[in-house]
Amino acid sequence: MILSLLIFAPLAGSILVYLAGFISEKASKAIAVTISALTVALVLFIFLTFNWSTTGFQFVENYEWAKSIGLSYSVGVDGISIPLLIIASFLTTLSALGSIEQIKTNVKEYNALLLLFEGAVIGVFTTLNLIAFYVFWELVLIPMFFFIGVWGGPRKKYAAMKFLIMTHVGSILILLSFIALYVLSSPHSLIS
């Protein structure tokens, strides 16, 4: 349950931050910092309660949502994903704090995208399902495109388009490799 909270709190928070931005930019910023700081607290709790003497995934959650085609929502953490979660949550909090003074335009959009980015990155680091990994990966790319294209440097539009092309070529290759893994590992594979 804690990993789902870690993923979906920032995702839901992105909507809350965006809506709060219509009332006050300060409220939007404060909520973004608060949610990202709570994410850090959850990650530190996971780190402190993680059993480093065993191998395998811990805090595992499994929920089937399309059993007929073998799709499920599965998340867990291991010794590799814990440091990545720490880095992602701390950097998001630092970005939220740094943006208080640095981001002057489209504040509510920036804060919403920042939390969307955080939830998606945490999803990438914790998912145990290739399809969910691909969905979270694609979700990460959306805020990154806007970070570059809206708040980037002097050639931000060029950089954003180049980013879009390069990452989607890579995403297509990832998807094709997942399909190949499925076909080659399937008991009813055409290649036997």
> 101-110 burial, b for 16+ CB within 10 Å, e for fewer?
eebeeebbbb
Question: What's the number of domains the chain is made of?
Answer: 1
Phi, psi (5° rounding) for residue 152? -80, -170
* 149-161 per-position pLDDT tens digit: 999 888 999 999 9
Q: Is residue 21 in a domain?
A: yes
pTM of the complete model: 0.89
What is the sign, positive or negative, of the torsion defined by CA atoms of 10, 122, 34, 26? negative
Q: Which residue has the tokens 């799709």?
A: 71
- State which residues form the domain around 35: 2-185
Q: Is the pLDDT reported for residue 28 higher than 70? A: yes
Phi, psi (5° rounding) for residue 166? -65, -45
Q: Is residue 192 in a domain?
A: no
Q: Is the pLDDT reported for residue 6 higher than 50? A: yes
Q: Is the pLDDT reported for residue 38 higher than 70? A: yes
Q: Is residue 190 in a domain?
A: no
Q: Which amino acid, residue 70?
A: G
Q: Is residue 191 in a domain?
A: no
Q: Is residue 25 in a domain?
A: yes
d(CA 157, CA 83): 33
How far does CA 27 lie from the centroid of its chain? 23
Averaged pLDDT, 183-190 = 67
Q: Is the pLDDT reported for residue 189 higher than 70? A: no
